[in-house]
Amino acid sequence: MLVREMSRQECEDLLARLAFGRLACARDNQPYIAPMYFASEPGHLYGFATMGQKIAWMRLNPLVCVEADQVLSHTEWSSVIVRGRYEEFPDIPEYSNRRQQAQSMLEKARSLWWQTGVAAAQTRRDFDRDITTFYCIHIEEISGRCASHDPVEHSWPLAES
Amino acid sequence: MLVREMSRQECEDLLARLAFGRLACARDNQPYIAPMYFASEPGHLYGFATMGQKIAWMRLNPLVCVEADQVLSHTEWSSVIVRGRYEEFPDIPEYSNRRQQAQSMLEKARSLWWQTGVAAAQTRRDFDRDITTFYCIHIEEISGRCASHDPVEHSWPLAES
């Protein structure tokens, strides 16, 4: 397997194509991961969620990490990692335009973009439309790696090179 | 989409079947995610890595989260989340048996289990067989949700119920 670093443009293209990844947040140094549908543009990811542990933790600590990957086989994969900062778009007049922009981008990225968050909240029996939220991840660092098949076969333990 | 909680047995079965997920660790409340191949048994996940940010951070803070999911479609998916604690199996005589056990389980879970970590380190140009490591995640909490298609169609904004 040959692994190489991806360019920033390749990373952004992968995020736009997948529109799905995993978001990690942390409280008292305990990390937590949740799957996340998102819309992306250079520098930002946009998401939608119902209130739950993820949002509660990000309100306390906005430092997050998002990972998105495409695994075609063990030796053919791409993975992008974003370090970023959470910003909530609360349902108040000052954020009206930004909420509409986030919703519009999510609609373009994926039909039924709201469905997973709502269904998850309904499972918790705490769904209330008043506590849905739109949010943005400001991308502070982005990196990616992609792997392709190596015509030279290696074995473990690796031979001295 | 109908979402339900998975039983502990269902969660363990999914981890055993996938043998792949994402590991989040944290430093100074900044989370970091990396894809992870693992072998699992009830109560434990086993992994292999070359030295890098993930291992450096987990040595400083052993609190981790692992997420594994299988997404068949937007309305058919399963996702398991593990909260756990990292323990490294260093290459010293006292850990010899546990290292062998971890390697043996990883070999059963996936052929070429070592390949991704080594290739990633080679990309960083810092690969050294002396700094590969086996480790264990002690599972302290495990939960999962799975979704299935809902025959009743909903739309956004959701109608009053």
Helix (H) or strand (E) holding A106: helix A96-109
One-letter amino acid of B50: T
Q: Are B9 and B17 in contact (CB under 8 A)?
A: no
Any CB–CB contact under 8 A between B148 and chain A?
Answer: no
Mean predicted confidence (pLDDT) in A136-147: 96
Rounded average pLDDT over A108-136: 71
Q: A87-91, A131-135, B5-9, B152-156: which range is least confident on average?
A: B152-156
> What average pLDDT does this structure show over A44-69?
94
- Residue B35 sits at φ, ψ, to 5 deg, of -65, 150
**pLDDT score of B114 more than 50:** yes
pLDDT in tens, B3-56: 899 999 999 999 999 999 999 999 999 999 999 999 999 999 999 998 888 999
User: Which one of A4, A65, A112 has the shortest CB-CB distance to B24?
Assistant: A65
The predicted model gives A18-28 an average pLDDT of 96
Confidence band of A159 (pLDDT split at 50, 70, 90): very low
Tokens found for residue A79:
């993975």
pLDDT of residue A74: 80
Round the average pLDDT of chain A to a whole number and report it.
88
Q: Hey, are the CB atoms on B1 and A26 less than 8 Å from each other?
A: no
What is residue B126's predicted lDDT score, i.e. its pLDDT?
Answer: 56
pLDDT of residue B98: 96
User: For residue A131, is pLDDT > 90?
Assistant: no
- Give the DSSP H/E element, type plus range, for residue B123: helix B115-123
Domain-by-domain residue ranges, chain B?
Answer: 2-148
pLDDT at B160: 42
How confident is the model over B116-153, as pLDDT tens digits?
666 666 666 655 555 789 999 999 999 999 999 877 76
What pLDDT, on a 0 to 100 scale, did the predictor assign at position A73?
85
Identify all chain A residues contacting B33, using CB atoms and an 8 Å cutoff: 22, 24, 33, 65-67, 81
Is domain A2-148 given the CATH code 2.30.110.10 in the classification?
yes
User: Which residues of B, range 72-131, sit inside 8 Å of A by Cβ?
Assistant: 74-75, 77, 79, 81, 83, 110, 112, 114-116, 118-120, 122-123, 129
Q: Is the pLDDT of residue B106 over 80?
A: yes
Asked if residue B21 lies in contact with residue B159, where contact means CB atoms within 8 angstroms, the answer is no
pLDDT at B18: 94
Q: Rg of chain A's alpha carbons, rounded to an integer?
A: 18
Contact in structure between A37 and A109 (CB atoms under 8 Å): yes
